[in-house]
Every structure is written in C-alpha cells, then in structure tokens.
Amino acid sequence: MLSTACKKDKNIDCNSFDCLDDPPIGLVISKIVVVNYPEFVDGRNLWDSNTDADVYIDIAVDNTILLSTGYIEDAFPTSSHVFENDFPFLLEEMTTDYEIDLYDYDESSDDDWIGGFFFRPADYATGNFPRVITLNGTENQIDLELYVSWIF
C-alpha cells in the first residue's frame, strides 16, 4: 500500500521521501533512453571527426563506476537511442546521489564526456512512483528517460 501521509501527523499531506509510511528500499532501472544530446562538441565540430558520437552511459557513485554500458555507434543526436543490454540495474541506496553520464567512445583517444546528471532516487519517490523518470538538462542539452520499477 502506498501512502503519502506524513508519519508524524496522519492528517498532513507530505511530499517527501522521509514522510512515507512504507518507502521503497530500491529502484531497478530496466532501460535508459537517450532522447537528445548536443550535436556539436564545441558548438561547431561533431563529436567524432566526420560522424556522430558513439554514445555510452556510465552510472557511478563518488567517482566509482558501477555500470558502463556498451556503446551505440554513430548515434544521431536528435534520435532516441535505447540502452537495454546492460539492464536491469539495481540502485540499492535511495538517498545516494548517483551520477549518470553520457560519453562519446573514442578508440584512439580519451573518451569525451558529453554531459550528465546527479540522480537521487528518493527525490522521485514522493508517493507518485513514476515508471518513467525524465531527466532534462537545460545546461548540458541532454534528455534521458529512465524506465524503472520500485522495490518495497
């Protein structure tokens, strides 16, 4: 049973993870869709010399990579790209700040960081428990969709 009533006073509505009577204990990501990323590395040059970026995703905590997906070659920036092969992936700590980063894989040089997000599952567990969490970056121009299920 899901409840959005505050633990301290059952008559007060609460939209905080800390107020939930039965908060989730984990979050499973079943896939991540890259909806959009910036076309140019510096405003004028493509990520790779003559092609679009070869994109992949890392999920990390405190600079420790927990998951690194395979890459999608020549991923057109405004087309959706689905990452499913390395999933499902369990996030066991609801109040941890996970970093979800998008990179351009480069065979002959260091990979390019395209952008990313800090993601704290508890911020999205306020009683509504969405099945799709959308991360939109106004500064980094990246849009991701996380397809999730909540563990209680």
Note whether residue 34 is domain-resident.
yes
**For residue 131, what is the domain's CATH number?**
2.60.40.1110
Q: Is 11 within the bounds of a domain?
A: no
pLDDT beyond 90 at 81: yes
pLDDT band at 59 (very low <50, low <70, confident <90, very high): very high
Task: Specify if 8 maps to a domain.
Answer: no
Please check the confidence at residue 39 and state whether its pLDDT lies above 80.
yes
Q: Is the residue at 143 inside a domain?
A: yes
Domain span at 124: 23-151
Please give the full DSSP string across the chain, using - where no structure is assigned.
Answer: ----B-SS-TTSB--SGGG-SS--SEEEEEEEEEEE--SBSSSSSBSSSSS---EEEEEEETTEEEEE---BTT--TTS-EEE-TT--EEE--TTS-EEEEEEE--SSSPPEEEEEEEE-GGGG-SS---SEEEEE-TTT--EEEEEEEEE-
pTM of the model: 0.85
pLDDT range class, residue 61, cuts 50, 70, 90: very high
Question: What pLDDT band is residue 137 in, cutting at 50, 70 and 90?
Answer: confident
Q: Is residue 5 part of a domain?
A: no
Overall number of domains in the chain: 1
pLDDT of residue 47: 87
Averaged pLDDT for residues 81-91: 97
Summarised one tens digit per residue, pLDDT across range 87-119 is 999 999 999 999 999 999 998 889 999 999 999
